[in-house]
Amino acid sequence: MFDKILVANRGEIALRVIRAAREMGIKSVAVHSTADADAMHVRMADESVCIGPPSGTESYLSIPAIIAACEVTGAQAIHPGYGFLSENAGFVQIVEDHGITFIGPRAEHIRVMGDKITAKDTMKKLGVPCVPGSDGGVPTLEAAQKLGAEMGYPVIIKATAGGGGRGMKVAQTVKDMENAFYSARSEAKAAFGNDEVYIEKYLTTPRHIEIQVFGDGKGKAVHLGERDCSLQRRHQKVFEEAPGPCITEEERARIGKICADAVAAINYAGAGTIEFLYEQGEFYFIEMNTRLQVEHPVTEAIFGVDLVREQIRVAEGLPLSFEQEDLQINGHAIEVRINAETVPGFAPRPGKITAFHAPGGLGVRMDSALYDGYSIPPYYDSLIGKLIVHGRDRREALARLDRALGELIVDGVENTTPLFEMLLGEEDIITGNYNIHWLEHWLEETF
């Protein structure tokens, strides 16, 4: 069993891990940049180590600094959170080479799923339904045009190394292909240092449905249903809910079993998310994330489980603490992402928080590292809080969200709270009638 773990992250997710560790009687070590010396995760952890200057590359992404912090403090394991080093297979290898446990899957699984072409290939062989598309990378414009003609337009050109919605371009017709192909390649090169792209059929009105899976690393795995994350802006999620408003019990059981069996077959360890596009009753795999997701709390709410605790237990070599039959859905949960950004421009707004008050009461959870007088530094992402509500059904969850948003106070910086207050007045949001394009259309019409 671990006595002490190091959290290689910042912000709300660092708090999330520190909280789980404390409940398990495990000491926590925070690491931080000089810009984060006063951050909440530093205050809340049992110990802290400064690992470098503000820039992420020199601090939260600095592998030598993080390993040194482990050695100095005697931490036996590292939880990577999400983002930063959480899906870096090279990091996992180095951690293990130093006799430290990585709280997450094995390096080989991160590597396979980090390359989207290999990931799709692997999933296809494991019986997971995929979006129709190219067999591997598409090296030339001629090859891309040939495929477009065969598959029929629209198509989407995607970076093999992609993530965060970058390196993705849609070609509506053959005329768009040249531009889409080259701009996807150059964006991929700039963002990931790898310009390989592949092509998929572009689904026109899908929902984004993702399945939470959990493996024990020894051939056993379960699924924890789906999350609907269709409300997106520039392929970035802003509002997530579980269960999906349009997914039936039969569909959940079917796709959930396919996913659990797939990860069991590869001896996957820990939390993972298998992402699908869902259109007309069919699921199409797009990618797998080999880490805890930002939106994991909606799943925790409806299943009554602590996913971080489970991650730590699996890393300790313990069996899963639940069987598939134990996992029953209770009610409905919604998460909204509070970002320090303007609405509707979504321009980052770092700065000083003059007043912060988190909502409370039955079925309300606020995961945030904010406090009165805190200065949001300009160096990192703009997520400053997640408001999660849980109700007996979707209607109650929506009413609770409305009530909780009314109680939330984040003064001093512009943030996305007003966006959600507006969305709650929309018929389509109330009925759950939206797809991955809904939010962008609504933003265009409304502002």
State the number of CA atoms in the 13 A half-sphere of 148 facing the CB.
22
**Residue from the set 27, 207, 208, 394 that interacts with ligand ADP by CB under 6 A:** 208
- Is 291 one of the annotated active-site residues of the chain? yes
Give the type of residue at 186.
S
Tokens 């039969």, residue? Answer: 250
Beta strands 155-163; 197-201: pairing state = antiparallel
Binding residue for ligand ADP (CB under 6 A) from 202, 268, 303, 356? 202
Picking from 203, 200, 196, 156, the residue whose alpha carbon sits closest to that of residue 177 is 156
Phi, psi dihedrals of residue 128, rounded to the nearest 5°: -90, 130
6's CB contacts (< 8 A; 6+ apart) are 28, 29, 31, 66, 69, 70, 73, 75, 77, 78, 79
Stretch that binds ligand ADP, among 87-95, 97-105, 197-205, 259-267 (CB under 6 A): 197-205
Which member of 81, 105, 162, 412 binds ligand ADP (CB under 6 A)? 162
Could you give the string, one character per residue 220-239, with x where binding to ligand ADP holds by CB under 6 A and - elsewhere? ------------x--x----
Q: Which stretch binds ligand ADP (CB under 6 A): 158-166, 213-221, 382-390, 419-427?
A: 158-166
For ligand ADP, the closer CB: 132 or 361 = 132
Our finding on whether 164 is near ligand ADP (CB under 6 A) is yes
DSSP code of 83? S
Residue with smaller CB distance to ligand ADP, 132 or 345: 132
Q: 150 CB contacts (<8 Å, ≥6 apart)? A: none
Break the chain down into helix, strand, coil percent, rounded to 5: 35, 30, 35
Query: Residues 312, 373: contact at Cβ < 8 Å?
Result: no
Applying CB under 6 A, the span of 85-93, 175-183, 203-211, 265-273 interacting with ligand ADP comes to 203-211
* Token output for 298: 């909606």
275 near ligand ADP, rule: CB under 6 A: yes
3-class SS of residue 340: coil
439 part of the interface to ligand ADP, by CB under 6 A? no
**Residues numbered 89-108 forming contacts with ligand ADP, rule: CB under 6 A:** none
Is residue 132 within the footprint of ligand ADP (CB under 6 A)? no
Interface size with ligand ADP, residues (CB under 6 A): 19
Cα–Cα distance for residue pair 130/287, rounded to 1 Å: 9
Phi-psi region of 130 (alpha: psi -120 to 50; beta: other; left: phi over 0): beta
Sole binder of ligand ADP in the list 163, 348, 351, 432 (CB under 6 A) = 163
Closer of 29 and 286 to ligand ADP (Cβ): 286
* 148 binding ligand ADP? (CB under 6 A): no
Report the alpha-carbon distance of residue 292 to residue 277 in Å, rounded: 20
Nearer to ligand ADP, 36 or 275 (CB): 275
144 is a contact residue toward ligand ADP (CB under 6 A): no
Q: Based on the shown chain and the rule CB under 6 A, indicate whether residue 432 belongs to the binding site for ligand ADP.
A: no
Whose tokens are 């998929």? That residue is: 200
Q: Which residue has the tokens 């406090």?
A: 371
Q: Which is nearer to ligand ADP, 155 or 264 (CB)?
A: 155
Nearer to ligand ADP, 230 or 311 (CB): 230
287 binds ligand ADP (CB under 6 A): yes
Euclidean distance between CA atoms 430 and 427, whole angstroms:
5
Catalytic residue among 291, 309, 394, 400: 291
Q: Which is nearer to ligand ADP, 320 or 336 (CB)?
A: 336
Please tell me whether residue 26 binds ligand ADP under the rule CB under 6 A.
no
Identity at 10, one-letter amino acid code:
R
Q: Does 131 bind ligand ADP (CB under 6 A)?
A: yes
Dihedral through CA 326, CA 231, CA 397, CA 411, nearest 10? 120
In order of 89, 106, 307, the CA distances from 291 in angstroms are 12, 11, 11
- Smallest gap, in angstroms, from Cβ of residue 207 to ligand ADP? 9
Least CB distance from residue 289 to ligand ADP, whole Å?
8
Query: Any contact of residue 110 with ligand ADP (CB under 6 A)?
Result: no
The residue among 26 and 177 lying less far from ligand ADP, judged by its C-beta, is 177
| Binding residues for ligand ADP (CB under 6 A) | 131, 156, 162-165, 168, 200, 202-203, 206, 208, 232, 235, 275, 277, 286-287, 436
Q: Would you name the residues annotated as active-site residues?
A: 291
